[in-house]
Amino acid sequence: MRIMGLDFGSRTVGVAVCDPTGMIAYGIETITRKEENKLRRTCRRIEELISRYEIETIVLGYPMNMDDTVGERARKSEEFAETLKRRTGLPVILYDERLTTVEADGILQESGVPAAERKKVIDTLAAELILQDYLNSRNGR
């Protein structure tokens, strides 16, 4: 079963997929858009990737507040999840992603990636971390 992980931001969507065994996540790209509410091209690209990788389920990062409340970003993720369900017909799982972008930035810093380069890949790495955490929890790891 192939699963796609998404890190949905105001201007970017990081994308990751898992291997056919459902054990290992890897980032594939960051989709960018000029305006936050302009999602048509973003959705079309996600649909292309779903077809290419034969995706059966989408895991969408759900940015809950640290006090477990639902804030503005989480509400936007809920709306995006509904859009994805409607457009793709696939199940969309909202998955807690608190601090994944911070974790991704730390990994990139430790790896010596310059700040300008980190901005280009941080969302893809965050999507990979979200998906890998989901796979680990699903697989009992």
- How far apart (Å, rounded) are the C-alpha atoms in residues 72 and 62? 11
Instruction: List the one residue out of 36, 42, 4, 41 whose CA is nearest residue 22.
Output: 4
Q: Any idea what the CATH number is for the domain that residue 100 is in?
A: 3.30.420.140
Domain enclosing residue 133, as ranges: 2-138
The pLDDT score that the predictor gives to residue 125 is: 87
- How far apart (Å, rounded) are the C-alpha atoms in residues 65 and 105? 19
pTM of the predicted protein model: 0.89
Encode the chain (141 residues) as per-residue pLDDT tens digits: 899 999 998 899 999 999 999 999 999 999 999 887 889 999 999 999 999 999 999 999 999 877 878 888 889 999 999 999 999 999 999 998 876 776 776 777 787 777 777 777 778 888 999 999 999 988 776
Q: Is residue 49 within 8 Å of residue 3, measured between CB atoms?
A: no
The pLDDT score that the predictor gives to residue 113 is: 74
The pLDDT score that the predictor gives to residue 99 is: 67
- How far apart (Å, rounded) are the C-alpha atoms in residues 8 and 109? 22
Domain count, the chain: 1
Burial of 90 (0-12, 13-18, 19+ CB in 10 A): middle
Q: Is residue 63 within 8 Å of residue 127, measured between CB atoms?
A: no
Tokens 């380069």 belong to which residue? Answer: 117
Helix (H) or strand (E) holding 54: none
How do 25-32 and 92-96 pair as beta strands? unpaired
